[in-house]
Structure 1
């Protein structure tokens, strides 16, 4: 499916009329049934590689994927910088809401002014709630993502004016997806927080998450979908690193995810009580992904413990490349694309039920 805004931008003779056409179009075509009067002008994302749509292409880091075989199932087989064989959750959610099918990266050099009005991603693969996490891999911190968001707000204001800018901020759906790299990289693999036990570290993460949502609120954002941490111990690379000889799920990693998730959920409940008008919704992706991993055949998958790229046990980012890594014969049989990230098919299996489950909570 192509982004409908492209053809509109080409056919409009007046810039202001073009903007109006885009806004009308994106507010009327939807895939999921929306509540009456529910309007979503744009979808935006902050966080890590799950919703990075190419920002890391512009960063000096090893956490990159703007090369094949990444993107083999993306439109045209292009490696856009998405850590996937195809599209990622922010794209799929925007499509479900009828906004557009591809959400560009904010740092994309080909970004058009009209793209801003329907949403961009500020996320960076390898980032996290803990400020140490992005420093370890030289990627874009959440703090820097907010600075880019400030730039974005000013650009939108210049395009459509103060009133429409405020409307977009208050009514757009903002995704916040982080925490995996804090646990998998900072805490368990690199041990960059040696003086923290799991309980205190997950508290630190939840506090940073709450602070970030509060900052978004200060910019005028009201609808924030905050994703839980996944069953990180069942991700192929973490099975390899922490699952023993049989590469079982590393249950201590999963326990850490669940502990963080319980704290995150409570923090978001508290914010809804203290920040007037905010819809900060906790989105449980732990259980849906866990079910797919435990019962892959139920969802049409055959392989859940290895990625499709290379051996599937460790290859991710620069290690998953067309020179040293082969690709499995059937991507659609795999839950995971590389050793860390799900396939587009897996994301699709998760996103639609999530939208049905949570969309009414944003009204």
Structure 2
């Protein structure tokens, strides 16, 4: 009789666990903490003295309630979608949101700031928050957790949360031009990759133990780059820029693998380049109709304040487009990327 009861209990526990996994419920990762640029920014730029803002329509037209929150998309961004996949929340708050309450910090936050990069000059040019200053805000965040919820809760968040680092596009696409007197394309990409590794080491020193770092994306294929550098009629991808992104990835991937062996915890290189590039090259394979223009405005150069509610050309069906504006993907494109990547990588951090 006792054996039957034990067997029954084991079956119940297995069923509960399977249902939890199926529903995206996760008991081992208490929070998602994100650093980086506009891909992950959920509103940190809203109150900064910068032109890189998007807290106005039609940004957010597909966000719950149709609100423009400061996300550089028509709807949610990867920080939100990953938080949902982890069973934490449907949206991840921006740390600079002045209305955040202490309890809002427990499931995680994003420190990401649109327009930033690994190169400190990038944030300076754009008047946004550098990734290095994001680390300072992270220290403040941990202090708040300790003050409101105790040392043990802070220790749990540090040791068991998933930390994501997403940057490099702005460095490669913009700041390199200002740094060309110091670097050639290869050495600048290597400098950025080395900076990313240094960032991970600093994050690890602060207590983070489960860290994922996104590769560079094929930034040469975003609509703005196609328009400016891709040829008037062909609007092809900016191949030299994509080559820089590949060089960054070629330097970063083995360096993070070495760091994973050297440090305690889990350090992941997350290859986003291949997935997004395949989507751009074969949009119909993923259910998209347009890959070379953004939905907002005419989709060629439109971004930030040029993507506004007065522009009469914004498409009605964002989901048909890979890109929302001339630089950032739509929520649906982000969802495809997240779905493709998380199955492969998230199991390694449980």
Q: Decide: shared fold, TM above 0.5.
A: yes
- Aligned partner of residue 106 in structure 2, secondary structure: helix
- What CA distance in whole angstroms lies between the structure 1 residues aligned with 2:244 and 2:191? 12
- Aligned partner of residue 305 in structure 1, secondary structure: strand
- What CA distance in whole angstroms lies between the structure 1 residues aligned with 2:266 and 2:22? 19
Aligned residue number for residue 11 of structure 2 = none
- What CA distance in whole angstroms lies between the structure 2 residues aligned with 1:29 and 1:156? 31
How far residue 360 of structure 1 moved from its aligned partner, in angstroms, is: 2.0
Aligned residue number for residue 227 of structure 1 = 214
Q: Structure 1 length as normaliser, TM-score?
A: 0.88
- What CA distance in whole angstroms lies between the structure 2 residues aligned with 1:115 and 1:262? 38
Question: Quick check: 1:52–1:83 contact (8 Å CA) kept in 2?
Answer: yes
Unaligned runs of 5+ in 1: 1-27
How far residue 326 of structure 1 moved from its aligned partner, in angstroms, is: 3.1
Aligned residue number for residue 297 of structure 1 = 284
- What CA distance in whole angstroms lies between the structure 1 residues aligned with 2:81 and 2:18? 14
Unaligned runs of 5+ in 2: 1-16
* TM-aligned CA distance change 1:66 to 1:100, over 3 Å: same
Question: Quick check: 1:30–1:98 contact (8 Å CA) kept in 2?
Answer: no
- Aligned partner of residue 140 in structure 2, secondary structure: helix
Pairing 1:122–2:88 present: no
Aligned residue number for residue 55 of structure 1 = 44
- The count of aligned residue pairs is 333
Give the counterpart of 2:327 among 334, 337, 340. 340
- What CA distance in whole angstroms lies between the structure 1 residues aligned with 2:154 and 2:328? 34
1:98-247 equivalences under 5 Å are 98-187=87-176, 190-245=177-232, 246-247=234-235
Question: Quick check: 2:25–2:86 contact (8 Å CA) kept in 1?
Answer: no
Aligned residue number for residue 265 of structure 1 = 253
Q: Structure 2 length as normaliser, TM-score?
A: 0.91
Aligned residue number for residue 361 of structure 1 = 348
- What CA distance in whole angstroms lies between the structure 1 residues aligned with 2:74 and 2:228? 23
How far residue 359 of structure 1 moved from its aligned partner, in angstroms, is: 1.4
Aligned residue number for residue 62 of structure 2 = 73
Question: Quick check: 1:32–1:96 contact (8 Å CA) kept in 2?
Answer: no
How far residue 40 of structure 1 moved from its aligned partner, in angstroms, is: 0.7
How far residue 243 of structure 1 moved from its aligned partner, in angstroms, is: 1.0
- What CA distance in whole angstroms lies between the structure 1 residues aligned with 2:100 and 2:119? 29
- The Cα offsets for residues 260-315 of structure 1, whole Å up to 9 and x where unpaired, read as 0111111111211222x231101111011111111111111100000001110111
